[in-house]
Structure formats: structure tokens, C-alpha cells
């Protein structure tokens, strides 16, 4: 291959974000606001096109946490407080409405393998969480008749909330466009590029060499199975299908 062709595939940025979900796009937007030249790459189709359900949970402050995670609960509560100002700024920058934040009372059930004590423990560390207990089967079923008869009890969490992720991603893409951020889809990392023992970019399956001193991994639940990351750098997470009632 001619040297000119190799050079054409090598591009440099101040920051590269891998993953074009809400988190990755938000990180890219904030970096671009501070003057960074940013590239977002994603292995999939355009982000707004691949989101399925029109309404999904924005944050599950209680339902997705486990015993011994008070710090995570505190972080999600802090995020909930910051979100209104964030989305107002985003709507001004993009000119796109993301829809109102909807409070969604949520019944969180458990079976014999999930003890209710973890909720009380988390709430003691985060008094802002809005939870009303309904430990026995009858009380939980009265709140949500569609719950499985196999449950042992549940927690009623009226403070849970949801948004329209498609509208949010559309607004983020518009804001990124206004900042001149490049979003490249169907671009999958193949390996890291290193120099002098430090990561300095990523090489894609298409053999593009994307160079940057800052690499943000925002691949969500699939980050843990990212083969282009060394094993010690992969977070211990995996995708899980979550079912809930509202």
C-alpha cells in the first residue's frame, strides 16, 4: 500500500470517545465545550436509530443497586440533582426539546434470593431517596398486580424517573454538531496504539489509526468484553436484561 494511503488513515485529536451512547456523547460535548478537538466512534449504526423503546429508565436509584453499594446510590442521587440543569443547557445549545423528566412510581420485587435489608441499608446512607416499603407479598401485589406470584416482597419507590433517550441522543448529536465534533459510526476498535509505554490512540478494524493523548471508554455494558482493551483494563461488567414494572 502506498505511503500516502497510510497517512490518509492516520488522524489526530485531542480526545477520542469510544461509544456513542448518552454517556459517551455527553463526555464528548463537555470536552468540545472546553476547546478540545474530539472524535466519537461507535461500532453500531447511528445512535438515535438503534434505540428501541421510546421511554426507558433514566436512573434506577434503588432497583439496580445491590447490598453494600451506598457510594453508588449517593452518586446516582447526585446525578439526579444535576440532571435538570444539564438538560436545560443541552436544550439551549441544541434547540431540541428532550421531553419532560417523568417521575415513575416503581415496584421493585425480589424472590427468596434477594433480601429486603439491602434497601434499608442504602436508604440510611442516602436519605434523599424516596422509598416506601411493602415487604410482604400481599402488600407488593396490591401496588402492582402484574408481579409474579413467586415474589417474596417488594419496595415501592415513587422517586424513580425516566426520560426519552432517543430525544436526548438527538439533542446531544445536534449539540456536538454545533461544536464541530466528528461522530463516526460502524467504526470498531481493534487494538490500542502505544508509544513509550503509554496509550496514544486506537486502531480500528478498518485499519484507521486514530491518535489522541486522551481515550475515553464509554462502551457501556459491553466495555467488559472489549477485546481491544488489555484484560486488566476491562471493567468487571456485562450486559443484563432488566425487567421492571411501572
Q: Give residues with Cβ within 8 angstroms of 200, minimum separation 6.
A: 193, 194, 211, 212, 213
Greater confidence, 160 or 8? 160
Domains in the chain, number = 2
Label each residue of 71-125 as H, E or C.
HHHHHHHHHHHHHHHHHHHHHHHHCCCCCCCEECCEEEEECCCCCCHHHHHHHHH
Which tens digit of pLDDT belongs to each residue from 81-120?
A: 888 899 999 999 999 998 766 665 555 555 555 555 555 5
Kindly report the pTM of this predicted structure: 0.76
Dist CA 201 CA 168 (whole Å): 28
Greater confidence, 29 or 161? 29
* Chain centroid to CA 162: 13
Mean pLDDT of 122-142: 54
Greater confidence, 72 or 26? 26
Q: Given this model, what pLDDT does residue 6 score?
A: 43
Of 130, 163, 196, which one is at a domain's C-terminal end?
Answer: 163
Q: Given this model, what pLDDT does residue 3 score?
A: 37
Greater confidence, 245 or 87? 87
* Residues 150 and 174 placed together within one structural domain of the fold: no
For residue 175, the enclosing domain spans: 1-54+165-246
Of 163, 192, 219, which one is at a domain's C-terminal end?
Answer: 163
Q: Check pLDDT > 60 for residue 229.
A: yes
* Residues 77 and 44 placed together within one structural domain of the fold: no
* Residues 156 and 70 placed together within one structural domain of the fold: yes
Dist CA 36 CA 29 (whole Å): 9
Mean pLDDT of 6-11: 65
C-alpha cell at 124: 440510611
* Residues 5 and 72 placed together within one structural domain of the fold: no
* Residues 129 and 170 placed together within one structural domain of the fold: no
Amino acid at each position: 500500500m502506498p505511503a500516502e494511503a497510510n497517512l490518509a488513515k492516520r488522524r489526530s485529536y485531542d480526545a477520542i470517545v469510544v461509544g456513542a451512547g448518552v454517556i459517551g456523547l455527553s463526555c464528548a460535548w463537555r470536552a468540545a465545550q472546553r476547546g478540545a478537538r474530539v472524535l466519537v466512534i461507535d461500532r453500531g449504526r447511528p445512535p438515535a436509530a438503534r434505540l428501541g423503546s421510546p421511554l426507558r429508565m433514566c436512573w434506577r436509584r434503588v432497583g439496580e443497586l445491590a447490598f453494600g453499594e451506598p457510594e453508588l446510590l449517593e452518586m446516582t442521587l447526585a446525578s439526579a440533582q444535576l440532571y435538570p440543569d444539564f438538560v436545560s443547557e443541552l436544550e439551549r445549545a441544541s434547540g431540541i426539546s428532550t421531553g419532560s423528566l417523568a417521575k415513575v412510581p416503581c415496584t421493585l420485587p425480589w424472590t427468596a434470593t434477594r433480601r429486603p435489608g439491602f434497601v434499608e441499608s442504602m436508604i440510611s446512607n442516602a436519605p434523599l431517596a424516596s422509598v416506601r416499603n411493602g415487604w410482604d407479598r400481599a402488600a407488593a401485589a396490591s401496588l402492582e398486580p402484574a408481579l409474579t406470584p413467586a415474589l417474596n416482597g417488594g419496595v415501592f419507590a415513587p422517586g424513580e424517573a425516566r426520560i426519552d433517550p432517543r430525544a436526548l441522543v438527538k439533542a446531544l448529536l445536534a449539540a456536538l454538531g454545533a461544536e464541530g465534533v466528528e461522530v463516526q459510526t460502524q467504526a470498531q476498535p481493534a487494538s490500542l496504539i502505544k508509544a513509550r509505554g503509554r496509550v496514544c490512540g486506537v486502531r480500528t478494524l478498518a485499519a484507521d489509526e486514530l491518535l489522541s493523548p486522551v481515550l475515553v471508554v464509554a462502551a457501556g455494558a459491553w466495555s467488559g468484553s472489549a477485546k481491544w482493551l488489555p484484560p486488566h483494563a476491562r471493567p468487571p461488567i456485562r450486559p443484563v436484561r432488566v425487567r421492571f414494572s411501572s
